[in-house]
Amino acid sequence: MRTHSSRYSQEEIIRCAWLYYQQDYNQEEIARRLGMSRARVVRLLKEARTRGLVQIRINAAVDLFEREEAVQQRYHACQLRRVRLVPTVTDEDEQRRLVAHELPSLLTLGYGDIIAVSWGRTLSYALDLLPAQPALRLTVVSALGGIQGGTHTANPYDVAFRLGQRLHARAVYTLQAPALVRDPETAALLLREESLQETLALAARAQVALFSGGDLSDSSTLERLNAISREERLWLRAKGAVGDLLCHFLDRQGRVIDLEGRLTTVALPLLALKAIPERICLAAGGAKQEIVLAMLRGGFITTLITDEATADYLLSQEPGAASFEQRC
């Protein structure tokens, strides 16, 4: 029969547990208050659980964890390896902040890593939460061109520089070109620029990609920033596009839409994105659900941070069976 240690009195154990679990004292504070070492506090708390004096119950979070596992399993064949869910809230800005808050715990970087980054408000919020890592000698590179008139949250130049400053990266590279070009001749000239080719080649060598997905709803960010016109947005919708990934427009199956020369994307090609080992997508909200599904079906996401409602939508859909080569 299992016996309890006689080294600790019942009163001592209960007092320690009460301070920790009921009064929210940390272990150092309890040690000072009770005049004992922190190691003894740790042993007393462990003894409280062993004796059954403390029972830890997890209620609301269990369903969240189960849905994370369900989404990961459903889209495992699409290369999805990790899912982190946050509660769905009505305030869009608060929703972005909740998603952003999860990035630091999921972003693992190694010495000399290259990080390819896009832009977006959710990603911008996440930057301020990341710890400096100067010892890693990181490199940050924009994965797509800029948006004329874009704010600091919606411009890859600013996002890349802010990320570089936050991480204390050794170098930051940006694509000195617009993300979308209407004139085919201008686009051809830009894509032949040696500096642009070198930056794209560097992005293709990244170990980590950070991105979101753009929707084509009436409140589309690309239209709001005049990167595309209303007519172009409606034309893209008519062609089956549900949103964009690095300004490459995708249909519901994750296939790239042929822009027929009306627009040219200046960004990391999606085949190159697919070769980056860790591809972290931060996206939430009802307007993003279709593009998140498309990115998953295309095999572009390895780690997804999103909200519960989007998870429920993903669980109501099928992963799709088309090969990645067919999609790109």
End-to-end CA distance of the chain: 64
Tell me the pLDDT tens digit for each residue of 213-223: 999 999 888 99
Q: What are the extents of the domains in the chain?
A: 10-50, 60-327
Confidence at residue 54, expressed as pLDDT on a 0 to 100 scale: 86
pLDDT band at 1 (very low <50, low <70, confident <90, very high): very low
Cα-based distances in Å from 22 to 17, 18, 40, 54, 59: 8, 5, 19, 11, 17
Name the helix (H) or strand (E) containing 250. strand 248-251
Tell me the pLDDT tens digit for each residue of 189-211: 999 999 999 999 999 999 999 99
What mean pLDDT is predicted for residues 221-240? 94
**pLDDT of residue 39 exceeding 90:** yes
pLDDT band at 323 (very low <50, low <70, confident <90, very high): very low
Residue 71: closest CA among 250, 301, 287, 242? 301
Question: What does the DSSP assignment read for 151-197?
Answer: -TTS-HHHHHHHHHHHHT-SEEE---SBSEES-HHHHHHHHT-HHHH
Residue 93: closest CA among 60, 120, 68? 120
Question: At residue 139, what are phi and psi to the nearest 5 degrees?
Answer: -125, 135
pLDDT band at 61 (very low <50, low <70, confident <90, very high): low
pLDDT band at 321 (very low <50, low <70, confident <90, very high): low
Q: How far apart are CA 261 and CA 51, in angstroms?
A: 72
Tell me the pLDDT tens digit for each residue of 95-109: 999 999 999 999 999
**pLDDT of residue 311 exceeding 90:** yes
pLDDT band at 326 (very low <50, low <70, confident <90, very high): very low
Confidence at residue 120, expressed as pLDDT on a 0 to 100 scale: 86
Confidence at residue 4, expressed as pLDDT on a 0 to 100 scale: 46
Long-range contacts, stretch 95-98, CB < 8 angstroms, 24+ apart: 95/284, 95/285, 95/307, 96/121, 96/122, 96/125, 96/284, 96/285, 97/125, 98/284, 98/307
Q: Considering the chain, what is the average pLDDT of its residues? A: 90
CB under 8 Å to 38, separation ≥6 — which residues?
27, 28, 31
What mean pLDDT is predicted for residues 248-262? 96
**pLDDT of residue 159 exceeding 60:** yes
What mean pLDDT is predicted for residues 36-49? 93
**pLDDT of residue 3 exceeding 70:** no
Query: Lowest-pLDDT range, 84-98, 228-242, 269-283?
Result: 84-98
Fold for 10-50, please state it: Arc Repressor Mutant, subunit A (1.10.10)
Fold for 60-327, please state it: Rossmann fold (3.40.50)
Q: Are 327 and 253 in contact (CB under 8 A)?
A: yes
- CA 286 remoteness from chain centre: 17
Confidence at residue 303, expressed as pLDDT on a 0 to 100 scale: 97
- CA 153 remoteness from chain centre: 15
Cα-based distances in Å from 316 to 10, 40, 296, 305, 327: 52, 50, 14, 18, 22
Q: How far apart are CA 106 and CA 311, in angstroms?
A: 18
